[in-house]
Amino acid sequence: MSTVLVVDGANVVGSVPDGWWKDRAGAARRLHERLLVADTAYDEIVLVLEGQAKGGVRAGRDGHVTTVHAPRDGDAEIRAQAQRAAATGAVVTVVTADRMLAANVSPAQVLSPSWLLDRV
């Protein structure tokens, strides 16, 4: 059974007060780079980006990381990615601190941005 980690890029980047708001694209690129070299137990990582952050990483697959550019809001795309992965039989985990989003990604497990940042 495969495992998929769906990452709320805006939420993870926004959890660290390092000036990300001055360069959203750069912050997204740094997160992507960290995910590429991260030693995780997940078969695939899906990084969902929205707004200006999309300018930092091209959409598509790069190793075990797939970057998705949300066409509208990131939450809707995160839900769609989690549902898509679950439909294939994968075990899905979503990384977000957004309580409304977390309540709507069942049956996925939800972990906090700090959990991910401690591992990348």
**Please, which pLDDT band fits residue 21 given cuts at 50, 70 and 90?**
confident
**Across 108-113, average pLDDT:** 93
Diameter of the chain by CA atoms?
Answer: 40
Q: What is the pTM of this model?
A: 0.95
Question: Which of 62, 72, 53, 61 is CA-nearest to residue 11?
Answer: 53
Q: Is the pLDDT score of 17 beyond 90?
A: no
Q: How far lies 119's CA from each of 7, 34, 37, 40, 82, in Å?
A: 13, 9, 10, 7, 21
- 26-67: pLDDT as tens digits: 999 999 999 999 888 999 999 999 999 999 999 999 999 999
**Across 76-80, average pLDDT:** 96
**Across 66-77, average pLDDT:** 94
Domains delineated in the chain: 3-117 (3.40.50.1010)
Question: Which of 99, 87, 117, 119 is CA-nearest to residue 14?
Answer: 117
